[in-house]
Structure 1
Amino acid sequence: MVLAVKDTEPKDLLNEDCVLPTTTISPTSGFFFTSPFRSLSTQGCFTKLTLPAADGDNLQGEFQQAVRQAFTQARLAGVPHPVLCGAIPFDTRQPSALFIPEQTQWFERGSFMASVEPTADMLPEITRQTELPQQAQFMQMVADAVAITGNKQLEKVVLARLLEIETSKRIDRHALMMQIITQNPHGFHFHVPLEEGALVGASPELLLRKYGHQFHSNPLAGSIQRESDPQRDHAASEQLLTSAKDRYEHQIVTEGMRQVLSNRCRYLNIPASPELLSTTTLWHLSTPIDGEVAECAENALSLACLLHPTPALCGTPTLAARELIEQLEPFDRELFGGIVGWCDAEGNGEWVVTIRCGTVQANQVRLFAGAGIVQDSSPQSEWHETGTKLSTILRAFGLNQG
């Protein structure tokens, strides 16, 4: 079965008094997030929450207490329906980039998407591109990781690389977001304002969506590049669906999620076999997961922190994989490979994995892409896969990955 993201936004979830005409929505006025579930745009900042989310899964922990306190303060100050939004880094021991905005506007994604136009001619020329690490070093990283997985010290690790870009002049973030949305119409689009610049992207991967007691997740692991010819494209999708290496990588992810979710659920459904999900450039192995929480106090952010980082972005066992990432990768991921989304005071919310993304500051952009490494991984293939993923957001600048 082939899956694609569908715009089936439930009308009963929207406060009609807060739904704005799409002409008034700006993707760069503050936090911006589009989803088939709910889409929002914010203005202003009531309070920031930079506390690390290392214990964010613990409902009685310091982080969750700080979240509840922030919601209470916002309501007392006259914010009627406070929402906590922003990003949490890959390493939850690092500061969070979360805040409660002064104003939140919900809007219909379908109508907004219909009004979006390409803006490539408004983006500046790229004058320099630098790969970090370069190909030889990245392939050696993969070879080292394969050797360790072969020794059974860990089952999987996700290794990433960056592409650093400089442009001829300052980047218009509004034009950039419009181009990203145009080139990736089925992604979860996001803009997160930072102290300097912003985090932008179009993630294909839902980590956790919760409404009431019900939740959903859609992990992706295992991918292959799409082809322009329909017959070759179909053959590529079948190759992925029958790939022992990719199905093994995907099973590690779904079983890891089963282990952490089981004790917090009254009901949990994880299909035994993955399906295909398509984006503009890639086929992914995908498993739609749904369940019902056991405790009414559970919220979207506590579940997201319970899952993050999943084996799809880190590896398994988690601690061993994270230590190897710190040892091999020549950079700090910071917000890359983290999560981005929102949670309201009633516990509803949605969080996606921070991939197909970049940070923008003045005339500089950093792009991020990773690949899951298991015992059968090929260094050359993983280099190619990360290049294909980087090309998704590179297209926002009118370029293809070389």
Structure 2
Amino acid sequence: MRFVDPDVEQFTETFKKIKSSINKKEINKAVPAVFSIAAGSMTKAMRAYFIRQTLMNANKQTAYGYLTPTEGVIGASPEILFTYDIRSYELVTMALAGTRNSKLEGEHSLSNDEKEMYEHGLVVSGLKKKLVNFGELQISPTYVWDLGTISHLRTDLLAELDKPLEPISLFAEACSLLHPTAALGVSPITSDWRYMKECDGQIKRARFGAPFGVVSPTGKSVALVAIRNLQWSEDGTISIGTGCGIVQDSNLQSEWQELTLKRDSIRKILGL
């Protein structure tokens, strides 16, 4: 399976456009996506191989997949959009933004990086505003989460609901409210999602970054953010998508390296 890497020139133009919008105070942050593309069909043997590799290599991430006879997605996401248990009245989510090669974390920690902490703070702030009406909110200290190849800044948030909500309606409401967070979309939350679509141009994200989850008969539900995956479509397109958060102090070369790091981590998970 031969992948064609993303176009650095196209990404450069998107980067410049976002930085221009930030300089004009139109936005604080945006997360563009790029894709490595291959052509071919996904055989049953290939699907079985990728599922097996993902289950073995997911580490602390959540393995997931959705398959039909002609299309699908397989991956291991580090980002939980939310979990909910009707018995505890608790909705739990996380802010996950700020990325570094784990090998470099000891030299210069994410927690001491002003740019990364600022970017992460935008995600925390956005989630706090979205959850303000859900109930009493508990927020953990921000910490570095080591996933092996990659480390991220992470903050956990828990909303204690005043009363239990029916799981299916809560699932739909929470997905609509929380997605996309500033870890994947645009900050502030008042910014229009169409801005990101305009930045993407002809790029089709398909299921990349979408909410992906289940509601169990026991009243538990979980939704994750569909990142770190391989997806394929009926037209024979196979793709690996990655995104990066661009803020005022972002550097083009550093962001491009981050995209490469994430892409390499996906290949490792999938055994590519």
CA contact (8 A) 2:138 2:159 kept: yes
Quick check: 1:140–1:379 contact (8 Å CA) kept in 2?
no
User: Shift of the alpha carbon at 1:277?
Assistant: 0.6
User: TM-score, with normalisation over the residues of structure 2?
Assistant: 0.89
1:140-195, CA deviations, whole angstroms, 9 ceiling, x for partnerless residues? 21121012112110111111101112469835211111112223222100011246
Aligned ranges 1:170-209 → 2 under 5 Å: 170=43, 172-194=46-68, 196-209=70-83
Give the secondary structure class of the aligned counterpart of 2:180.
coil
1:255 to 119, 125, 136: 125
For residues 292-303 of structure 1, what are the structure 2 equivalents within 5 Å?
Answer: 292-297=160-165, 299=167, 300-301=170-171, 302-303=173-174
Alignment length (residue pairs): 264
1:339 aligns with 2:211: yes
Q: What residue identity is the alignment partner of 1:246?
A: E
Q: Which residue of 1 aligns with 2:185?
A: 314
Alpha-carbon shift at residue 203 of structure 1 (Å): 0.2
Aligned partner of 1:285 among 153, 175, 200: 153
Alignment partner, residue 142 of structure 2: 274
Equivalent position amino acid for 2:23 in 1 = G
Conserved? CA contact 1:156–1:321, under 8 Å: no
- Structure having greater relative contact order (Cα 8 Å, sep ≥ 6): 2
Q: Distance in 1 between matches of 2:138 and 2:203?
A: 37
- How far apart, CA to CA, are the structure 2 residues paired with 1:388 and 1:321? 29
Post-superposition CA distance 1:287-337 (Å, at most 9, x none): 011121134225351223211111111021346352221112131222111
In 2, the alpha carbon distance for the partners of 1:200 and 1:155 equals: 32
Tell me the TM-score normalised to structure 1 length: 0.61
Partner of 1:327: 198
Between the aligned partners of 2:18 and 2:4, the Cα distance in structure 1 is: 24
For residue 346 of structure 1, report the CA deviation from its aligned partner. 5.7
Partner of 2:64, secondary structure, is strand
SS of 2:5's partner is strand
Q: 1:176 to 1:289 in 2, by over 3 A?
A: same
Residues 139 and 380 in structure 1, CA contact (< 8 A), matched pair in contact too = no
Distance 1:247 1:359 in 2: 31
The SS at the match of 1:137 is: helix
Rate the CA distance shift 1:157–1:168 in 2: closer, same or farther, 3 A.
closer
**SS of residue matched to 2:231:** strand
Mapped contact 1:315–1:372 kept (Cα < 8 A): no
1:395 aligns with 2:265: no
- Contact kept, 8 Å, 2:57 with 2:270, in 1: the verdict is no
Q: In 2, distance between residues paired with 1:268 and 1:186? A: 25
Percent identical: 26
Q: 1:164 aligns with which of 37, 41, 48?
A: 37
Cα separation, 1, equivalents of 2:206 and 2:105 = 35
Say if 1:245 and 1:377, in contact at 8 Å, map to a contact too: yes
Q: Distance in 2 between matches of 1:209 and 1:397?
A: 25
Q: CA deviation at 1:395?
A: 2.3
Report SS of the residue matched to 2:198. Answer: helix
**Cα distance change of structure 1 residues 342 and 139 upon mapping to structure 2, 3 Å threshold:** same
Matching residue within 331, 339, 358 for 2:230: 358
C-alpha RMSD of the superposition:
2.2
Give unmatched runs, 5+ long, in structure 1: 1-125
Q: Is the 8 A contact 2:75 2:227 kept in 1?
A: yes
2:137 and 2:159 in contact (8 A); partners too: yes
SS of the aligned residue for 1:264 comes to coil
Match of 2:259 in 1: 386
1:291 maps to a residue whose letter is: A
Q: Say whether the 8 Å CA contact 1:157–1:321 is kept in structure 2.
A: no
Q: Equivalents in 2 of 1:246, 1:361: separation in Å?
A: 34
Distance 1:365 1:215 in 2: 34
Distance 1:263 1:195, change over 3 A: farther
Distance 2:42 2:56 in 1: 22
Point out where structure 2 has 5 or more consecutive residues left out of the alignment: none
Question: Which of the numbers 79, 97, 105 marks the counterpart of 1:221?
Answer: 97
Partner amino acid, structure 2, of 1:247: M
Q: How far apart, CA to CA, are the structure 2 residues paired with 1:380 and 1:214?
A: 41
